[in-house]
Amino acid sequence: MNKQKMTEQTKLAFEFIQKLYHETAFLIKEVENQLMQEEESFEIIKPSGYAITSKNSTGLESTNVNLWPIRKLGVMFAPSQFVEKGRSNITAFVANLKMIYLRVLLDDPKINEPKLIYGCLYDFGKNGELGKRLVKAEQLVSHIEYNESKFFKNLEKFEYDDVYIKLKGILREIDLFDLNSSEEVHTKIVEPSLEMFRGV
């Protein structure tokens, strides 16, 4: 490939990825806006500001170079009554805390096309033997991203337990590009998530 062609391909690749990131951000904000209107008045969990959480790297080792672009990301939403606002929001693991979880898979060797995982996480407890637990729900989003191989074995109904957290969940998966309007986001993501949330 000649220099001009490589230059054009590089520009097109970055333009496409940037558009994909913008569309993903719009999707998350649409879910957020719809959940804010519900009686629970959900708020997005903010581990490090108003942001998504992803596993990434700037390392030069080949395995780390694969993490340069964001391929997978997650966000959580909690009812506002559980979110203590301050310089850094704190959502404590109280007995009746439940959260809606959203995870976008833009690229992964195990999938044929981009996916969206959605549903409810609940029944947060301590490690049975050590009695340890993450301090706040804001830490859980990155804990999931960095432990995805253990966490996402069974989406339908699962129990997860490690040194830092114990929880239950009900998650579903949908093809990301099947969501093409606010109405579809509502019927395919928000309504089913609320049904799971209110049913546990």
The model's pLDDT over 152-198, given as tens digits with 9 standing for 90+, comes to 888 888 889 888 888 999 999 999 999 999 999 999 999 999 999 99
129 or 180: which carries more pLDDT confidence?
180
The predicted pLDDT at position 150 comes to 86
Residue 131, pLDDT > 70, answer no
Number of H helices, E strands in the chain: 6, 8
- CA contacts within 13 A on the Cβ side of 102: 26
Task: Give dist(CA 155, CA 160) in Å, integer.
Answer: 11
Model confidence at 151, pLDDT cuts 50, 70, 90, reads: confident
Place of tokens 């080949």: 62
The predicted pLDDT at position 86 comes to 74
What does the mean pLDDT of the chain come to? 92
The predicted pLDDT at position 130 comes to 65
Q: Indicate the number of domains in the chain.
A: 1
Give the model confidence (pLDDT) of 8-45 as tens digits. 999 999 999 999 999 999 999 999 999 999 999 999 99
The predicted pLDDT at position 28 comes to 97
Task: Give dist(CA 127, CA 118) in Å, integer.
Answer: 25
Residue 143, pLDDT > 90, answer yes
Give the tokens for residue 137: 């729900």
Give the model confidence (pLDDT) of 59-84 as tens digits. 999 889 989 999 999 999 999 999 99
The predicted pLDDT at position 153 comes to 81
User: 80 and 41 in contact (C-beta within 8 Å)?
Assistant: yes
Write out the residue range of the structural domain in which residue 41 sits: 3-199
- Report the predicted TM-score, pTM, of the whole model to 2 decimal places: 0.92
